[in-house]
Chains A and B, each alone.
Chain A
Amino acid sequence: MTKPSQPPFTGRTEDRRFLTGAGRFVDDIELGRQAYMALVLSTHAHAEIRGIDTTTAAAMPGVLAVLTGADVLADGLGPVPPFFMPKLWGGPDGYGTLRPILVTDHVRCVGDRVAIVIAETRDEARLAAEAVDIDYAPLPVVTGARAALADDAPRLWADCPTGNLSCTLRLGDAAATAQAFAQAEVTLKRRLISPRVAPSSLEPRACIGVHDAAEDRFTLYTSSQDPHGFRAVIARNVLKIAESRLRVVSPDVGGGFGLKAHMHPEDALVLWAARRVGRPVKWTATRSEALLTDTQGRGQEVEAEIALDRDGTVRGVRVEAWHNLGAYFWGTATPPIFFSLQLIPNTYTIPAVDLTTHAVFTNTAPMSVYRGAGRPEATFVIERLMDEAAAEIGMDPAELRLRNTIAPEAMPFTTPTGMTYDSGDFGGMIRIALDRGDWAGFAARRDAAKGRGRLRGRSITSYVEVAGVMNERMEIRFDPDGALSIIAGTHSHGQGHATVFSQMVADWLSVPLDSIRYVQGDTDTVLIGRGTFAARSSMLGGTALMRAKDALIERAKDMAAIVLEADRAAVEFSDGMLRVTGTNKAIPLTEVAKLYYLPAGPANALGIGLSGAGTAAGKPGAAPNYPNGVILCEVEVDPETGAIVVDRMLALDDVGRVLNSTICEGQIHGGIAQGLGQALLEEVTYDEDGQLTSGSFMDYGLPRAGHMPHIESHLLEVPCTTNPLGVKGIGESGAIGAPVAIVNAILDAVRPLGVGSLDMPVTQVRLWSALRAAEEMRGAA
């Protein structure tokens, strides 16, 4: 393990633009003759549509069109299937829904899209949308995943052969686990819940559809993490056109967190509407619409069991879980289902696991990926169990973890869920954290808190992440004048790619940073790309970029050999120069680049232009990487009021080779903030009628600066062995470990008072209620 050495941070290339308000987001784009779309959303969680009366709305001022599901069918627009189903990752078949972009006769959640209005102005569109009259015949509603599996639960999809169950994923070895449980000295079982949370990107979703009738070609401007993915789904499934007939542009994007990894119906609706009215059509979500219509994250209930011996040896873990899919199997719902089980073995040598999760339809908004996507759920389960087990056998929770961590010598290590960790020093990380965080000095801090009437609790959390899905392509292309562009298949929407990728290329090629233009997010410019999510860009984008550089240099050597009149094999590249070994003959790369663009000369034979493209591959088919880390957390609780203060937060992260430590730490900070939100504040709630009761930021609590503790972040490098850069992901790390770190620390503080379980979010009211209930129990005893 080494500490990264980094040059001083000099800011990010993109910061000037963002900080001076010069960023260009979708809503900043104003096109000539642009019209506006407003949504008519279902006000019922479950109902049949008996009729839709659009006459009043259609006659209102400024209205250009009112369109319904019947129009969708009449125009032959197709429904949207899931981006992929669990089967692609070796899971069960499952029932995948086909979601129409407007519903025709059956709404399945509040916020289902029923109709759209296109008008001259935003307000005219919205007023007319309110005037669309829908005759609903309400149906019974179910919002909870377990409730939806009851025999008498209302069914969402009549043709799903397994009722409201889409699929059940099983991993591990049931027989071996049963045996482990039978033989273990201690077993315990807990019910653990990761509630639904709202991704809440700073920039809400927004899109503009354009149809060029002359060419019969569409352009979609959309706030997306994955322009090519959007293009594929919309062109193939909805519009049924060649992909070349749809251009997707994602300019500056103000955060995604998984929400924008997959299209939403509006992305197709604006394109269709644009063709219908012959004008560009814009839609920008209001925050209320976002909370109602965006995909949500998490939403898993778990019955979790652990078996161990009194010496702390963990023998097995058994889990049955229920994932609340919402009304549709939508977008990238598959990864959370998988990762929530696959990462349960975590950093430990757990010999036997028996893991099951059921993906269930309910009358709620669809679930999809959200920063961490299943990994925080898995970490919550295993780390809660480890703390409960430690308390049960009276062992220091750090000691229990150290007894079970996978040793660095055991690498590569394959878990019982089939993940092969290439590298990592999980025990070493824990020991460093204990030292840096003064674990041994806790008793004194706890006593001091007691003197102030506060209960102090601590936790240590070990986590592992799996990063690097799908393949990626990057390109480096010189211009005729010797400047160059990086053409990225990844998509930065806050991650700082323009800075990091440009710095890498500047270093490799010894060219000035400001001669590099960074290009992303336009399907007309980028051949193909997968976008950015799941902490994939450093490994896949970085490796592909390195290979693009290698390819470019190989091609540059061809030209250098000709102009230096040397043997091709004797040309090598260093410090920005192509040199002939053993001679003083050399030519700068930028000069070679110019030669490649001359109207005559060697380029005639070699082909015009100097560029290089590279590909890198991850899971499935190639190895992902496994970032990992430790969080040490201390909290103080006021036993009278239930007020919680997160007092210490030490985050140690092995992110492999560090490309830019400041940007890495920024990712850790942001992830921990979202983890803290999940632990203490955030929860999407529906009432028994399926009405959203957390529909605005007046009710839905997002973490703010004032909620945040000081975060002490340390990066440690254990280079990844399965990619040439040695990098590991960073984007999701903080969000994976933080929720359980905070909850475990709170429980450590209040367990002596008899509070043994707390559901997230641990709000002050929830903790206060638990403390009062425990007090009554003590009084009664």
Chain B
Amino acid sequence: MKINFSLNGRNVDVETPSETRLSDILKDNAKIGSVHTACNKGECRSCTILFNGDAAASCLIPAFEARSSEIVTLEGFSKTDDYHDIMQAFEETGTTLCDLCRGGTILTIYSILERFAEPDEGQILDAFRGSICPCTNIRIIIQVVKKTALYRRRKRFGRK
């Protein structure tokens, strides 16, 4: 099957069997380094992308569903101000993420902030439910999300 989609603002054409996981297409055909596949079951988040604007597990999206879609990976997202706000918050908490979960964690944080201007703990915990990263404490993630929300509010609404 021939599919066409927008990847980080670029048009991409791929010839692939219809059931191929989008995560495999991104890794193998488009050579995207931030997408990993640790479980292929939608659990580990290492394959998270923004799919038509929403965070999604690319391992659960078959090629035929990706036709005409708009995909943003960490590579594309890292050119945005939102990315820099999130990274600044991580730096302030003295945390670094490993390669496997960087994409999933950052894009999940972004999707929380797109939904809630001032996310509460429950909303953050819900978004990170089932996260299997054993090294970054969820308390740190909560701090990062809250800090980033604050930077965004300051920028967007002039609030403290």
Tell whether A and B belong to one assembly.
Answer: no
B residues at A contact (CB < 8 Å): none
A residues at B contact (CB < 8 Å): none
